[in-house]
Structure 1
Amino acid sequence: MSNEEKLFILFVTGRSGAGLSTVLKILEDLGYETMDNVPVSLLLGFFNKINLGEEKISSKAIAVGLNIRTSSFDAINFIKDLESIKNIEKFKLETVFLDCDENTLSQRYTKTRRKHPLAKDSNLIDGIRVENEIIKPLRETANLVIDTSLMGVNDLRQLISGNYTLKDTNTIAIGIKSFAFPNGLPRESDLVFDVRFLKNPFYDDSLRSKTGRDSEVGKYIMTDPEYKSFFDNLSNMISSLLPLYKAEGKAYLTISIGCTGGQHRSVFVAEEIANSLISSDYEVEVSHREL
């Protein structure tokens, strides 16, 4: 049985508050049948019925959300259960682990006023740390780990759609993101480029309040004698890499371009690279983290 004929089962797990519900909603929009917080014992019975032909589903893919809230959930036993499901010829199985740093999780729980499932005596940080130790084996065995600490919903949708779309496609989707280095690297990055060596419009009073989307800023940056050779080399390198990533089976690639403030140089270069790739018939989405 080919992979195309198999039922694709995607297990989504991870730290509480890292975005499991959001990811399941994204997958539902992509055409997945979704299940959340179903006891593991019932899940195993459900998949066994599908294997025996006693249960039918309308979609060619199922997304299952599981975390510490799930009844009878045990990370080690669940990994063993995954192996037994993988051995069923009718199924193709992958797992996604949603991670998030401790400070961001704490802020999310404080903002929503929700209680962490393992927070005893209202000690949120202790609950977060205990959960992390319990589910660590799942992170180590996941096919894909996504750190959502610095990701918005659109970033998450872009990444999930790129990796788990159900559409038949032979293309690779590309996300290009500008950012400021002092605010940290975008964690979803596959490739990162530093353009801080280019002339900085920030030091021109007439350009400081503008962005790399403004034509005056672009013209200023292009007066840098290093710009043309840099851009040509970067564009050629990316173009040569894309077929290799595609051949590897990668459906989505995130290219991040950074400068000091994330307002001028990185924005302009990101837009120019995007235009170059679009002209070569690639599917491209551009975002500017600091704008």
Structure 2
Amino acid sequence: MASNNPLDVVIITGMSGAGKTIAAQAFEDLGYFVIDNMPPSLLPKFWELVRESGSIQKVALVIDLRSRAFYDQIISMLADLDNANTVRTRILFLDASNSELVARYKETRRSHPLAMDGRLLEGIKLERELLTEMKNRAQIVIDTSNMSPRQLREEIFGHFKESGDTPFHIEVMSFGYKYGIPIDADIVMDVRFLPNPYYIPAYKPLTGLDKPVYDYVMNQPETEKFYQQFIDLLWLTMPGYQREGKTSMTIAIGCTGGHHRSVAIAQRLAQDLGKKYSVDVTHRDMHRRKETVNRS
């Protein structure tokens, strides 16, 4: 591997229905390369490919132990990993009470993978027996019986988030209404009420990234009043989205063509929000021209 740091490997395992899918999503948000149920026999080849690439530093493997043979293979594989200086392994075991697991299966109307005869509780007991050794080997055990998905995510972040991790990310986007509203936007703000630089001949071929246009938009009295109230609203709401477990937000700023007003506002917004959050800014329609509509 290109880095001298060991490969960080987290094994996500535990009782079926205890929250492995939610855990996998949380690790993706933490920047882990997540693999769901790779056969243990393929792991040596996978480690080889990871080392050769040098681009993957954190891997999370979701292991669902549904048969005795699978169980024996993964235990042996973990022993080999523990003896390797280039790999650091941690096991996260997710558990829940039998009664809670039964309730979750009843709610989703799924059958337990080990309840071949349809007796749900017997399948849960068998799985718990098979997983005893894995649970004993786990460095972290989380009981999700009384946890919501958001609480489980927070618990995982608390154990595995590093100082450089930024699970919450903001995407600021400018766009033109004549090309359609972005379907992935969480918050959409229409700035077509602001004076339009398009009607000033010298500004028409420019964009909101050009200083004359940017200054023109920002120097309008209504712009500053609007902007301060809008960003105050964002400062108020972003922490709430984080508390609810949201890891990314897309804020879309739109004007008619997506060339001038929306670009300037989005650029300033990204700069200000970037003082506290991880922010990217894109200008979807800045270089698009549509001759049938003559306003930006």
TM-score by length of 2: 0.52
- Which of 62, 65, 70 is the aligned partner of 1:68? 65
> How far apart, CA to CA, are the structure 2 residues paired with 1:39 and 1:151?
30
Q: Which position in structure 2 is the counterpart of 1:32?
A: 32
Q: What are the superposed Cα offsets for residues 24-43 of structure 1, whole Å, 9 maximum, x if unpaired?
A: 00100111110001111112
The 1:161–1:70 alpha-carbon spacing in structure 2 relative to 1, beyond 3 Å, is farther
Give the letter for the 1:115 counterpart. Answer: S
Kept after mapping to 2: 8 A contact 1:37/1:65? yes
Does 2:87 correspond to 1:91? yes
> How far apart, CA to CA, are the structure 1 residues paired with 2:5 and 2:83?
15
2:31 is paired with a residue whose SS is coil
Kept after mapping to 2: 8 A contact 1:40/1:72? no
Query: How many angstroms does 1:64 deviate by?
Result: 0.4
Q: What are the superposed Cα offsets for residues 208-243 of structure 1, whole Å, 9 maximum, x if unpaired?
A: xxxxxxxxxxxxxxxxxxxxxxxxxxxxxxxxxxxx
Q: What are the superposed Cα offsets for residues 121-157 of structure 1, whole Å, 9 maximum, x if unpaired?
A: 2100000001111111000110111111011111111
> How far apart, CA to CA, are the structure 1 residues paired with 2:67 and 2:129?
17
Q: What are the superposed Cα offsets for residues 146-170 of structure 1, whole Å, 9 maximum, x if unpaired?
A: 111011111111110011114338x
2:102 is paired with a residue whose SS is helix
**Counterpart mapping for 1:184-203 below 5 A:** none
Kept after mapping to 2: 8 A contact 1:10/1:62? yes
Does 2:96 correspond to 1:100? yes
Kept after mapping to 2: 8 A contact 1:18/1:105? yes
1:73 is paired with a residue whose SS is helix
Kept after mapping to 1: 8 A contact 2:66/2:127? no
Larger Rg over CA atoms: 2
Kept after mapping to 1: 8 A contact 2:41/2:73? no
Q: Which position in structure 1 is the counterpart of 2:195?
A: none
Query: How many angstroms does 1:79 deviate by?
Result: 2.2
Give the letter for the 1:58 counterpart. Answer: S
Q: What are the superposed Cα offsets for residues 90-138 of structure 1, whole Å, 9 maximum, x if unpaired?
A: 1111111111100000000000001100012210000000111111100
Which ranges of structure 1 fall in alignment gaps of 5 or more residues?
170-291
1:115 is paired with a residue whose SS is coil
Root-mean-square deviation over aligned CA pairs: 2.3
The 1:41–1:116 alpha-carbon spacing in structure 2 relative to 1, beyond 3 Å, is same
Kept after mapping to 2: 8 A contact 1:39/1:71? no
- Report the more deviating stretch, 143-152 or 85-94: 85-94
Give the letter for the 2:65 counterpart. Answer: I
Does 2:47 correspond to 1:47? yes
**Counterpart mapping for 1:153-172 below 5 A:** 153-168=149-164
Kept after mapping to 2: 8 A contact 1:18/1:98? yes
- Report the more deviating stretch, 123-132 or 39-48: 39-48
TM-score by length of 1: 0.53
Which ranges of structure 2 fall in alignment gaps of 5 or more residues?
166-296
- Which of 142, 147, 154 is the aligned partner of 1:151? 147
Q: Which position in structure 2 is the counterpart of 1:6?
A: 6
Q: Which position in structure 2 is the counterpart of 1:130?
A: 126
2:159 is paired with a residue whose SS is helix
Give the letter for the 2:132 counterpart. Answer: K
Give the letter for the 1:27 counterpart. Answer: F
> How far apart, CA to CA, are the structure 2 residues paired with 1:67 and 1:154?
22
> How far apart, CA to CA, are the structure 2 residues paired with 1:146 and 1:4?
31
Query: How many angstroms does 1:72 deviate by?
Result: 5.0
> How far apart, CA to CA, are the structure 2 residues paired with 1:57 and 1:13?
26
- What is the aligned-residue identity percentage? 35
Give the letter for the 1:101 counterpart. Answer: S
Q: Which position in structure 2 is the counterpart of 1:58?
A: 55
Query: How many angstroms does 1:48 deviate by?
Result: 3.6
